[in-house]
Structure 1
Amino acid sequence: MYLYFLSQGLSFTQIAVLEAAYNVTTVLGEVPTGYVGDRIGRRNSLLVGTGLIAATLVGIGLAGSFLALVALYVCWSMGYNFRSGSEDAWLYDTLTDDLSEDQFSRVRGRGESVSLLTGVVAAVVGGYLGNIDLSYPFFVAAGVTALGLVALLSLSEPDTYESADTDDLSLRRSLGIVRDAVTNRRIRAFVVYYYVLFAAVLYLVFMFVQPVFESVVVDLGVSSSRVESLLGWYYAAISLVGAGFSYYAGAIKDRIGLRTWFLVLPFGVGAALVGMYLVPVLALPVLLLARGTADVTRALASQYVNDRIESVGRATVLSAMAMVSGLTVIPFQLGSGAVSDVSSPLLALAIAGGVLIAGSLAVLAWEVPVSAGESAAEVGE
């Protein structure tokens, strides 16, 4: 994507503005689109989001100016906003129809595993297409995304959603549901612990994989001309590791438990990020595992929140969680960028790891963010 933008004459500053436009739209659009999803239905919201994404990808492939790309980035973010809360809400309510909502982590994890495995193949195909013309991958991605519209049209709304009282779901009531959710004693500490701290640090890991990988392998004696090809294989390995973890999301929930997973993982990741600054070669396995566990951790976090909220307003609440992450990651981005310019991304990640450890300890001193029980509980308890 960055190669395409640079070939269009954009500067790195303009690319940064595009990313900022995307993040700001995410923050401002999550709750309204979640509310729309609760009002018009999960499937209809997914149809709108998928259609927006497909159309935006075509637009990016045809765009000839910076301002056009800014507008398209806003549309791109809105497309994902419509999908972010509704897809998990639809899946959870569908499983609730069959009294199997406890299987959410397993089913979502299997789906994420297929997505990551597909991504390995797509990355290779996209590379060959990019060699022909850098706009071609966007057109092919739009076509593949549009197939999702056909799949969605074959689905129906869950009975759990249909029987819910959504006709009286005003925007004010939706905001009240969000407020009750984030202040609910079963969720409030978890929101800070995962959606504010852990998710923000994982986003920095995503940002800095490429420059850290390049600096480490060059220091190990690898020729600069081989970095890009090796990076492709490294990303493939990340997707494969992520697919493996996601496939066993249900087993992780049942055998390790949500409580143990979330109380141990942030400290392990934080310590590893600090450690790789002291021993840079550790960055290769640390970033591989940190990115590899990100998707399954997101699925488990969604399971935890879903178990503790009602069907009415579910998409709004889940979108609000994404909004919290999108908002709090901005200072992490700005701070890490400044540190990277002055020193290096390795130091920025080490500081982020220290903040994650200190912040997690502070949350634990306030209250345990993950309750021992995993049964559903109503908002407001």
Structure 2
Amino acid sequence: MVSLVRRYYLYRASLSSGFYIPVSVIYMESRGLGLPEIGLVQGTFLFSMVVWELPTGYLGDRLGRRASLALGSVVTVAVMAGFALANSTLGFAVVYGLWAVAWTLKTGTADAWLYELLATRGGEDEFSRVTGRADSALRLVSAAAALSASLLYTVDPTFPFFANAGLAALGLPVLFTLPRTRGVDADQVGRPDEPADTGPDSSPIGVREAARVLREQLSRPSIRWVVAYAALFNLVFSVTRVFEQPAMRSVGVPVAGLGALYAGFKLVSAVASSLTGAVHDRLGTRGVLFLLVPVVAVAYGAFAVVPALLVPALFLRRGLQRITRPVRTEYINDRVEDVGRATVLSGVSMVLTLISGTANVLGGRIAETVGPLTFLSATGVVVSLAAGLLWIGVRPVRTVSPDAAAS
């Protein structure tokens, strides 16, 4: 069992995008894409994720977990090679569409495979511990890859993508040393941003029933308004991720320094994740989620005045996202019943993804006109003001009560 888990850690490490992420946007700029086109292709990725979310989950059940993961790794290799070859907006849009297929094939399925493997050996209680260590291995590999990404880019802009293709390919032989699972002990495991319930009370529901549950739950003020509140900041964080590289270049960050910064981002994310429980205990759900309003407003407003403060703001953005996301998910979990919980969480994830994709597409044109630094700063400040008004007007975060089901 110990050997199997270690091999799983190696496989998860092969899922890293550390070579690709630090140079992805500046690479597209070097291939002639402007910010509007970059926003469009990044939006294509998010929209495609929504489209492929259910089909790839179904495919994982039909093919088996291991075969689905293998297919995801093969597609990833093709995607990374495609990045090196693409030289037009259409070409990158196709690559990002395929990248969404690879992403949805691997993410939830990897967790489902692990849960089923542990369950067959009576080790379900080890799921969180093993997953946490696997995520740590992934982050360490991503940080190391990020450090070398910009150096590879300065030698040849395509090298980081071929390196990431090689890393994904290394996961295939490891994957085929792992056993198949039957897919009967974990009927659904959520995507990385919105983990679904995998407890013994979970049970699948039909499409009509799922639609009804989703409609009913999202119509409740205690859920509807927190989703609206989360969507505002998800919009800010998403456009920041897309346009942060051009913004960093505009304040003087060299290409060679991007890899070191992204390695630092990974470490900050890891530390923030480890502090989530302590921060939540200290501030409570309302305190943690309200923290987004003043912190984002000040951080994003500051680099409009002092451009060099952009880099600290990007580190802060990672920490905020890591801390607030699980708190938000727990809040929603507390307000829905076991039956339909996965449906609600998946529905919320899709809503946030669609809003982020739309923001990326529309934001590219604005960023091109006013500059990426001004665009990000204005977006952060305006969204924070809107979220503050929403907080005062509708109280999006509400205390659980006996009447919570109707609130």
Q: TM-score under structure 2 normalisation?
A: 0.71
Q: 1:240 to 1:352 in 2, by over 3 A?
A: same
- Cα separation, 2, equivalents of 1:72 and 1:275: 36
The answer (yes or no) to whether the contact 1:34–1:315 under 8 Å persists in 2 is: no
Note if 1:174 corresponds to 2:201. no
- Cα separation, 2, equivalents of 1:44 and 1:197: 37
Q: 1:183 to 1:377 in 2, by over 3 A?
A: same
Cα-to-partner distance string for 1:188-229 (whole Å, 9 max, x where unaligned): 1110001x10111011221232222222236xxxxxxxx112
Deviation at 1:366, TM superposition (A): 3.5
- Cα separation, 2, equivalents of 1:78 and 1:188: 29
Q: 1:274 to 1:319 in 2, by over 3 A?
A: same
Note if 1:60 corresponds to 2:87. no
- Cα separation, 2, equivalents of 1:124 and 1:25: 29
Query: 2:143 — aligned with what?
Result: 120
Matches within 5 A, 1:204-353: 204-217=239-252, 227-353=254-380
- Cα separation, 2, equivalents of 1:202 and 1:182: 23
Q: 1:3 to 1:369 in 2, by over 3 A?
A: closer
Cα-to-partner distance string for 1:299-322 (whole Å, 9 max, x where unaligned): 322222223333433333222222
Query: 2:163 — aligned with what?
Result: 137
Query: 1:223 — aligned with what?
Result: none
The amino acid of 1:199's aligned partner reads N
2:48 corresponds to which of 17, 22, 25: 25
Deviation at 1:244, TM superposition (A): 0.7
Structure 1 gaps, min length 5: 219-226
Query: 1:222 — aligned with what?
Result: none
CA RMSD of aligned residues (A): 4.3
Q: 1:197 to 1:47 in 2, by over 3 A?
A: farther
The amino acid of 1:289's aligned partner reads L
Cα-to-partner distance string for 1:114-139 (whole Å, 9 max, x where unaligned): 54333111223555666576242232
Query: 2:220 — aligned with what?
Result: 184
The sequence identity of aligned pairs, in percent, is 26
Deviation at 1:262, TM superposition (A): 0.4
Q: Which is further off, 84-93 or 145-154?
A: 84-93
- Cα separation, 2, equivalents of 1:265 and 1:212: 22
- Cα separation, 2, equivalents of 1:152 and 1:297: 36
Q: Which is further off, 321-330 or 128-137?
A: 128-137
Q: Aligned to 1:257, what secondary structure does the other structure show?
A: helix
Deviation at 1:21, TM superposition (A): 2.5
Structure 2 gaps, min length 5: 1-23, 188-197
Q: TM-score under structure 1 normalisation?
A: 0.76
The answer (yes or no) to whether the contact 1:253–1:300 under 8 Å persists in 2 is: yes
The amino acid of 1:258's aligned partner reads T
Q: 1:204 to 1:164 in 2, by over 3 A?
A: closer
Q: Aligned to 2:238, what secondary structure does the other structure show?
A: helix
- Cα separation, 1, equivalents of 2:111 and 2:225: 21
The answer (yes or no) to whether the contact 1:26–1:77 under 8 Å persists in 2 is: yes
Cα-to-partner distance string for 1:285-338 (whole Å, 9 max, x where unaligned): 112211233233223222222233334333332222221122212443244323
Matches within 5 A, 1:39-188: 40=61, 48=68, 50-63=69-82, 70-81=93-104, 112-126=135-149, 131=155, 134=159, 135-143=161-169, 146=172, 147=174, 153=180, 157-158=185-186, 161=199, 163-166=201-204, 169-188=205-224
Q: Which is further off, 65-74 or 300-309?
A: 65-74
The answer (yes or no) to whether the contact 2:234–2:352 under 8 Å persists in 1 is: yes
The answer (yes or no) to whether the contact 2:65–2:112 under 8 Å persists in 1 is: no
Query: 1:197 — aligned with what?
Result: 232
- Cα separation, 2, equivalents of 1:376 and 1:114: 42
Query: 1:221 — aligned with what?
Result: none
- Cα separation, 1, equivalents of 2:91 and 2:364: 26
| Number of aligned residue pairs | 361
The amino acid of 2:366's aligned partner reads V
- Cα separation, 2, equivalents of 1:57 and 1:191: 31
Cα-to-partner distance string for 1:341-362 (whole Å, 9 max, x where unaligned): 2222222122212222222123
Q: Aligned to 1:187, what secondary structure does the other structure show?
A: helix
